[in-house]
Structure formats: C-alpha cells, structure tokens
Structure 1
Amino acid sequence: MSKHTRRDHLTVADSHEEITDALPILWTSREVAEALKVTPSTLCRWRATGKGPRVYWLSPDSPRYRRSDVLAWLEEVAA
C-alpha cells in the first residue's frame, strides 16, 4: 500500500495559493514614488542612472520593486 502525502492531493486552488504565497509583493513605480514622497519621474531618473532601488522588469514597460529592496536601498543611502 502506497503512502500518500498532502502534495499528492493538491487541487489547482491549493497550487495557486502556494505559488502566490511564495512570490514577493511587487510595487509599481507609482507606489514606490508615493512611499518615498518623490515624483514618478524622479524614480524613473534614478532607475535610468542606476541610483534607485533594485528594479525587476516584467516587460519593457513594467518596472516593479520588492519592498525589501526598497528598504535595503533606503538603508544604503541613509546619511
């Protein structure tokens, strides 16, 4: 008799939940700019010059930021 684990009985909903729980929450440029109290164009300029927080590109027009990367960047630039 084979021993079954919970994983053997995962439903599509369970799989989706596991995946989304494992993914980081990604912020848009607007959300990061609002959180940092700067304009989106300032954030764009920082991105272009490599001075801003680490960015992930979902597509050429979709930059996204992890909260932990934004917080780490703030610690780096703190005086």
Structure 2
Amino acid sequence: MTITAQNSTPDATEKTALKNIAASTPVFGLMTSKQVAAALALSNKTLAAWRSSGRSPLPFLRLGSRVRYRSEDVLAWLQSRMCSAASDAARGPL
C-alpha cells in the first residue's frame, strides 16, 4: 500500500482502510472481528479480550456465536479516540 503525502498520518490511513473494508461488507455494514482488527492494526485476541473484560467501549453485536461490529460504530469509536494535543494523549489507554 502506498501512502501519499497528504494522507500520511496514521489516523487518515486507518480511517481510509476502515472505510474501504466497511464499503466491502455487503450486509448492513457489518464487519467481522478479523476485519476490524486488520483495520485498527490489532489482533483478534485483543478485540476478544476487550469484549470479555468490558475494557473498551467499542460496541459489538453478538449474532449467535458470531461477533460483528457495525462500521459506523467503529468509525465513531475511532473518532472518539482522536487526540488534539499532547495533554489529550496523556490521558492513557482506552
């Protein structure tokens, strides 16, 4: 993947990747854990740990034994994590 100068920030790259994956999901914009993990550069195990511990406010749907994420929820969660200054970055993990 080539990143152009105007989209070289990680936030822009992550949002673009997430939008591309979300656009390719045919059913109601639902994403699998694997797709979300890839878009956020996380592992499936991290997402599973967040779900089981309730550590992250990233909403998900449980459909039987399957877990899905709505693309708009993932984008909203990602936007809520945006830091505008060094003091915001110091607020700590999740």
- Using the size of structure 1 for normalisation, the TM-score is 0.63
1:49, distance to aligned residue in structure 2 (A): 2.4
- Runs of at least 5 residues in structure 1 that lack an aligned partner in the other structure: 1-20
For residues 47-79 of structure 1, what are the alpha-carbon distances to aligned partners after superposition, in whole Å with 9 as ceiling and x for unaligned? 1222052101111x2010011000001111222
Cα RMSD (Å) of the superposition? 1.8
Unaligned runs of 5+ in 2: 1-25, 84-94
Provide the residue aligned with 1:37 in structure 2. 41
* Distance in structure 2 (CA, Å) of the matches to 1:30 and 1:36: 10
Per the alignment, residue 63 of structure 1 pairs with: 67
Give the Cα separation in 1 of the matches to 2:28 and 2:66: 16
Match of 1:53 in 2: 58
- Rg larger for: 1
AA partner of residue 56 (structure 1): L
Partner SS for 2:51: helix
* Number of aligned positions between the proteins: 57
